[in-house]
Structure formats: structure tokens, C-alpha cells
Structure 1
């Protein structure tokens, strides 16, 4: 074997290499490969290495600074553009919309947005997204700043600890954000009325909050309205606070008259909710916790109505017309409302062949201090009500409003009412009734007309006609004319005599009266002198007594003589005979 040839040094000169033709022609061996060692590497290769390092650093930096990516479902993508539309929180850019896709069922659009690094704290499960664009509603105007800048996706961070990357976007901006100070309360109402998100909430006609949302119950029986009361006014809501619907103009025309109530011009146009705490209830200092449920009353009067738990129902049967009496009409006792009408029916009485109208009323005995029944027997007996009926308690229809003709039921005592008892019907106590004042007057007039009809009007008319004929005949008789003429002559003569007496006797009478007056004065003086003369101790008085005694004796003698003459009148002629 031949020893391999050692490579030559790069510095030694290389011998000339024979060509292939020469080697082949000379018949020698094939040429051998020779390794040539290079010097330092070329600087050209440094540029790709630097570019690769910079690219890797940029990739690492980009991946390190890249934030979370979220997807949001919206009803439509109006105003949104991929790569241009921003995602903002409090007007600060925190991301960009990168993609907009339509869902496979064509029901909504899915917006993909890349957020900045550190935005993970905003992506709670209850975080809300919505598209901020110009909106004008009856209750508010929002999004006007987007007229120049364009629409953007707004974000309201949630408070849940659970994270999420997929969200359901809101159709409209939320009325209240999670960072707003205050508390939310929930109201239950039969109907929504004119309430909408953004509808103001008033306290003493001052706006202190607004409606944020409403939902219909699963069974459709009621509506839940969420309201938000701003701080510090949320402390005004207590556990016994009353909320009522203050929307529009509350005009009530009832038996009590016409009542008009409204909060403000805004509430008239867009509606409103008002609340207050009654001052006549206890425990008004307990502040209500957040999310507490309250009933939403239809109006202020319904909210201020005092509620009593104990209620009693009674029947009142009326025989006359009840036109104007409606369900809900008040039942009052001496002008104070104690209940209301619950039902009105029409009943046919087969025995009397007449119609009767049973009216079911509900009374709150606590309003008038009725003792609350302690047992079913006491309630069934109703001894207090029986005693009141025996004393004359009756129910009567009265007119509450002359304009509308609305009626109400008045309970009062009537001492002249016919005796009646408390009866039972269909499980209810039946309170006796009286006809209305108009019906009573009509009945009296009818009775009077019946009496008049019972009178023999025809006979009386005939007699009266005969009497008038006789009077006419008498008045036309000659005797009456003669008597009238004679009476006229007598009156003329009497008038002449009277005139003569006035002219002739009046002066004489005056003279006589003057003389009489002088005579009376003389007589008065004479009497005074006489009193002095006939005093008890005066001599004349003594003589007068003696004289009177003598006169008395003479009078007795004259009486004896008169008696004798009465018996013997002939003695005046013959004289007194012997023996008489």
C-alpha cells in the first residue's frame, strides 16, 4: 500500500496540475483532490444574524406586550370597522376591533377585539360591552361625542371574580355604570305604564335617581322595575318607604270630586317614579338594603292609603236603582271612609217577582275601633253589629259627585227607621238599607197622590159647581142689590154723622175735658182737705161715726117699714089699722 500524500502547506507553491487529456494520454493516475483552508469568515454573514436576532426580540416583545383577545356578540355592526374602531373605558383606548364576523345562523355579528396588556382585570364575567353611538330618546340624549370621532365599543367592568373572554353586547348603553355611587332597588308593579330606562325617580319633586331596567315575570303576572338612587339620597329609602308611578297627569274623577296630581313637566312627557316615607308609621329610621323589593303603587293616593290587615265583608241589598255606584266606590260612616264596594250583582226574587241588587262591601273594622273577633263564634255572632242595627244603623246610597253622578254608600243611625235585624245570606251578614233621599221623597209623593186619587174628586167637583151656581144666583138676585144699596146709604149717613161729630162735638168735647180736668183738680184738693178732716182722731171723724150709727139705725127702721109695706101695701092708703 502506498502512503497517503500529506497535504502541502498553504504557503508553499502548488505544482502545476496536468490536464485530464495529458493524464489520459500519458497513461498516468487520476488527479487527487486537495483541501484548501480559508482564512477569517466573511462579514456579509453578520447582517442576517443581526436581523434574525432583532426579529426574534421583536417577536418576543410583541408576544410579551400582547393583551387578551375577546369576542363580543352584537345585534349588528353599525358604525364598526375592523382595524379602526377602538375599545374604550372612560374615553381611554384599551384595544382595537380586529375582526367582524357574521354568525353561522345569521342572527348576530361577532366582534373580535384585541385589548392592551393588563386589561385582564376588566374582563369579569359580568363585564358589559356596548356600541357608543349617537342616541336620542324621550328621556335622554347620549353619544353626541361620536359624531366627530365615530362609534366605539365602550366597556363597563364587572365585579365578578370569574373571568371570561366571550360576552353578549348590550343593545343600548346602561343607564348606570358599576362605579356610580348609590344603591339599586327593585319595584313590583302590575303594569309598566310609561316607564323606560332613564325615567327619573323623584323625592319631593327633586330627581334623585332613575329607572335602569325592567323585566317581565316568567308567568307574565307582574313587572319588576329596577331603579337606582344616587348617593347620598339612597339613605332616604327606608324599609317602609312607598313608591308610586308619577307618570303623566294623574286625573281622578270619583265620588270624592276631581283630583289632579303631577310631579313635573318631565314626568308629564316621559313618566316618572316618586317615593316618600309616611310620617304616621313606626320604624321610619331603618334604611332599606340594596336590591330590596317594594310595591309600585298606581298613584300617590294609593301609596298613602293606610293598610289594615283585618277586613270584614258584608252584604247590602238595595231595591232601587244603583246607577252611578261602581266597584271601588267608598263606604263611609258619618263622612269617614271605612271600606269600599267589592262587587255589584242583580238578583231576581221569585217570591216578590221583583229585582234586588246585592252589593258586597269590604270594611276595615280597625278604622272605627271595632273589636277584633277572637274566635270564629264571635265573628259569626257579630254582637256589636247587631246592637248597632237595633239602634238604627242603616246603609243608604248618596250622591258623591253632582258632575258625574257617582254614588257612594253612607252608614249612619236613623232613629225613625223601621225595626230591622241583622240577617245572613251566602255566608255574609246583611246590613239593612234605606232608600235614597230622592226615592224616599218619590215614595211620599206617590203615597200623597194615592190619597188624592182616593178622594171623591168628581163628587166634590159637582158639589163645588153647585155651590158656585148658587152663589152666582145669589149675587145676581134683586134682594142682594137692594141690600147693597141700602147698606151703601147707611154707610153714607154714618159717614156724614161722623163728619158732623168731628166738626161740632170735638170743640165741645175739648171744653168739657178742660172743665173736667179743673174739676178733678178741685176734687183732688177737696179730698186732701177731707182726709185732714176725717182722720181717725179728727172730731168730724168721731161725729161721722156717730152719725153713721144713727143712719144705720134709721136704715134698719126703714128696712122694717119697707118689709111691712111689702106685706101690707094698702097701709099707704088706709093707714095702719089696729091689731096690725
Structure 2
């Protein structure tokens, strides 16, 4: 028995079953409800899960790599796995529900990391924070959840106002994504895509021109390569053109409307344009109508190139198409034709202000037929002495052989005359002939004899000089001084104040007086020479009297 049984005053506990639920169960119920509410809230507000395909997982980390728009986080990479064919990786990312409306078929993703290029430096902030995925919202109406990431940031952000065109190049494949589009030295756009068609052997460049410069693109706009330095050697001389510093370093394409051309209508989206290799090629008018002619050149064709001008009296009317063209010369009428070099040229009617069509062609043919009969001939002339470039010159000549029409394989032959190169060669040949005809051998012998005579003369002068030197050496200087002293004394004796001078002066005065006394007698003898023998009958001279006062 316990002490409780022995204590009658102590009350006994009443044991009875509990009715209802204990309040302690409110704690887990509330916790469950909160958890459920959180779960439902997350489910309701959870954004979509998307997959993004990358070439490599470099810079990506599940649970850490964020997806941003304008530096605002809108998603997180949750899982990264390898593709089944190991050609890339697939990243699953959770996007906030508020940003799900930005997921369109043209939405772009790319990894932001440090990049250095000619266009500048970007992504330096990721050196400390780590790489992240940038997102550019799409513009299409259809939504999407699978995307392929870009290898690099897009050249032009989506939604940028402007115009996209396609540039086609058949020349060197020299441009790359990001190269500049330049208008009069100002960058106004860039190349976005580069594709090469193996079958057509053409390069297609997707280009974007920013607003408001996209209004400059019309149907008559010309694009040309502005990369590097353009050096051209032609009959007109040396021409050097350079682009801007940016185009020299990274390459670029320049565009403009050729001078004298109409502006034309505005170009539409994805319009195609050719890219010319140079400014000259882009701005040179392109003529469709032309009349071919053949030249049979007997002189040297060094310096003559396809594209060289064909001029008529200084005005360009065509160009050289082919030098040393392939022709069968077996049926030529002249025996010298087999040694000629065939040069194919073309006359372009539009260059002569004629219609660029069949009417212009007919007019050129009629005019050329008439002029050939009137003495029109072709010759090769040097356009520039520095470059050695040669062009074809058409001129009217007199005293030429009668024109005899000659057609070779459908091409009319324009007769040639010597001019420019031929005349210069002939003059040089004539000059060399005259030099060869000079009696150089006999002239050399005469010069040898002359040199010997000059040598003898020089020796004679040398001997005379030695003799003179010996005489001067033996000359008595004291005797010469004594003689000069005596001469000086003599001159002093006859000076103005000396006695000798006074005596000579008195003598001269007496002679003068005597001459005065003899003057009458001399005058008498002059009038009457026999007066010394016979008495003179001449009366005395009558002296005139003066006027009485």
C-alpha cells in the first residue's frame, strides 16, 4: 500500500477519457497549411522552364549562372547536360513568370564574357562577378521554349530602327561579321552575317544600316570595298585612295550614289546589292551596249591591259577588252597578219552621248564605216611615262593607204598606224643608227694626235717658264734700283720749280717771239711767192676805220 491509501484526507484523481482534438495539433496543421499555400503560390507564380543549346558549357554553372536583361536577373540555370550526339550542351533554366511574355521564337541568348576586338572591349565586369547569360527579347508573336544560343553578342540588338540589306560579292572573300558600313567616312552600320554559296561561288553578307542613314539606300546606291589602301596604276597616272582608320584596321564597306546619277527610289528590306572591289569600279558607269572591233598590232603591247581606255581625239569612247585574243589567223589576207597580236576593243555608244541600246550600236557602226574610209586609224600611245600604261588612240590621218575592209571571225579590223610607241622606237633606232655611222675610229685617232700636240706644247711652256725663272734669278736688283733713282732725279730736274724747267720755258718763249716776227713775211710769200725776187705790187692791207663818234 502506498501512503496515499493511508491518508484519508487526500483526494483521489479521477481518470476519464479525453473528448475532442488536442490544441497541440494546431501547430502542424498551421505549418501544413502554410507549406501548402507556399507550394500552391509557387506553382501558380512559377515561370516556364526553357532549354538553351550551347556549343560549350564554358562559363556556365548550374544553380549559379544567371539570365539577365539590361542587368536585371530574370532567370537561373538549373541543370546542364550533354547532348546525345556530344555536339553541344543543353542548359535548363527557370524564367520568372513576369518575363515569360518575352520568350518568342526570335529571342536571343548569348554568354557575356570578356571580349577584345577592333570594335572595342566588352564584358570586363564578368572578371569579378563571373559569366552570365544575356537575353534579347524577341519581336515575333509566337512563343517558344527551346532556343539556340549565339556564339557572340548580336551585332545589332533586336528592335533597332534601320534597314537590312544583302550584299553580294564575287571577288575576294575579305569581310567578316562586325565590319563597318561607312558613308563619307562615318560608320552607319555593320555586317551581321556572312555566308558563302559554294555552287554560285558568291559571298552573301547580311548588313544593317542604322536609322536615319537607312534612307540613303536607294536603287542606285553603290557599295565598294573600303578596306586597306587602294593603289591604281593607269594611263591617267598613279591614284591612291584610303578609307578611314577604322576601316584600315578592321575592314569595311563604303557606299554612296555615283556622281551624276539620279537618287532613285528607296530600297526595300533585304534588297540585294553588289559589292565592287574598288571605288573606281563602283562609280564607273556600266554600259550595256557596245560594238567590238579588232586591232592587229605589229608593235609591242607592253603596258596595254584589259580595261585600258580607247580614245577618239582625247575623248574616251570605249575600252580594251582582251589583249592577245584567241583568233584563227590562217585566213588573214596579209602575210604580216600571222605575226600580229590581236587586241579586241569595244566602242560604247553611251560614252559618245548616244543611246545605250541597239539604236546607238547602229549609229556607231555606220559612223565607223564612214570614218574608216576617210582615214580613221588606230595607234598605241603611252598614257603615263611613270607607269608605262598604254591606251588605244583613234585619229584621222591623211596620206594613208586606202581602206580595204577586213573582217576576222565577225570582227571588223581597224587598220593600225605607227604612233606613240612605234614612233618613239623608230626615233630611238634612227638616233642609234646615226651614232653608229659616226667616224668614231678616225675621230679617236685625231683626238690622240691632238692630245700628243697638246702635251708637246705643255712641255715647251714648261721649258720657257724654267728659262724665265733662271733669268729672273740672275737679274741684278741693285742696278735696277740705281736706274730708277737716276730717272727720278731727271724728272725732278725738269719739274715746275727746277732751273732746268725755267731754261726750257725761256727758250720756248724766244721761239714764239721769233715766229711772230716771221709771220708777215710768211703771209707775203703765201700771196706772192716771187716777191723775194720781184717787187710786189700788192698794196698794203687796208685797215677799216671805225664809226666816227
User: What TM-score, normalized to structure 2?
Assistant: 0.70
| CA–CA distance in structure 2, aligned partners of residues 285 and 349 of structure 1 | 48
| CA–CA distance in structure 1, aligned partners of residues 125 and 212 of structure 2 | 29
Return the offset for 1:47.
2.3
Counterparts in 2 of 1:9-408, with a 5 A limit? 38-191=18-171, 193-282=173-262, 284=263, 286-345=265-324, 352=335, 354-370=338-354, 379=362, 382-408=365-391
| CA–CA distance in structure 2, aligned partners of residues 406 and 133 of structure 1 | 54
4+ runs deviating over 6 angstroms: 444-451
> Cα gap change, 1:117/1:419 in structure 2, threshold over 3 Å: closer, same or farther?
same
> Cα gap change, 1:447/1:116 in structure 2, threshold over 3 Å: closer, same or farther?
closer
Counterparts in 2 of 1:554-565, with a 5 A limit? none
On the 8 A contact 1:140/1:198 being kept in 2, the answer is no
**DSSP 3-state at the match of 2:60:** coil
> Cα gap change, 1:445/1:152 in structure 2, threshold over 3 Å: closer, same or farther?
closer
On the 8 A contact 1:194/1:270 being kept in 2, the answer is no
| CA–CA distance in structure 2, aligned partners of residues 374 and 412 of structure 1 | 25
On the 8 A contact 2:189/2:208 being kept in 1, the answer is yes
> Cα gap change, 1:413/1:81 in structure 2, threshold over 3 Å: closer, same or farther?
same
On the 8 A contact 1:349/1:356 being kept in 2, the answer is no
> Cα gap change, 1:448/1:74 in structure 2, threshold over 3 Å: closer, same or farther?
closer
Return the offset for 1:442.
5.0
Deviations 1:196-217 (A, max 9, x none): 2222222111222222222112
> Cα gap change, 1:372/1:205 in structure 2, threshold over 3 Å: closer, same or farther?
closer
> Cα gap change, 1:298/1:442 in structure 2, threshold over 3 Å: closer, same or farther?
closer
On the 8 A contact 1:318/1:435 being kept in 2, the answer is no
**DSSP 3-state at the match of 2:304:** coil
Deviations 1:236-290 (A, max 9, x none): 22221111111111111222211111121111111111111234223x2632222
> Cα gap change, 1:406/1:102 in structure 2, threshold over 3 Å: closer, same or farther?
same
Counterparts in 2 of 1:427-506, with a 5 A limit? 427-440=410-423, 442=425
| CA–CA distance in structure 1, aligned partners of residues 160 and 357 of structure 2 | 52
Unaligned runs of 5+ in 1: 1-12, 14-35, 454-580
| CA–CA distance in structure 1, aligned partners of residues 412 and 278 of structure 2 | 33
Return the offset for 1:44.
2.7
> Cα gap change, 1:44/1:96 in structure 2, threshold over 3 Å: closer, same or farther?
same
**DSSP 3-state at the match of 2:85:** coil
**DSSP 3-state at the match of 1:252:** strand
Deviations 1:49-80 (A, max 9, x none): 22221121111111111111111111111111
Deviations 1:216-236 (A, max 9, x none): 125242111122222112112
What is the alpha-carbon root mean square deviation over aligned residues? 3.1
**DSSP 3-state at the match of 2:29:** helix
Aligned length: 419
On the 8 A contact 2:290/2:347 being kept in 1, the answer is yes
Unaligned runs of 5+ in 2: 1-11, 437-549
The aligned counterpart of 1:482 is none
Q: Which has the larger radius of gyration?
A: 1
On the 8 A contact 2:238/2:387 being kept in 1, the answer is no
| CA–CA distance in structure 1, aligned partners of residues 424 and 25 of structure 2 | 126
The range that moved more, 343-352 or 37-46, is: 343-352
On the 8 A contact 1:386/1:421 being kept in 2, the answer is no
Return the offset for 1:395.
1.4
**DSSP 3-state at the match of 1:259:** strand
User: What TM-score, normalized to structure 1?
Assistant: 0.66
Return the offset for 1:375.
8.0
| CA–CA distance in structure 2, aligned partners of residues 119 and 192 of structure 1 | 45
Return the offset for 1:419.
2.1
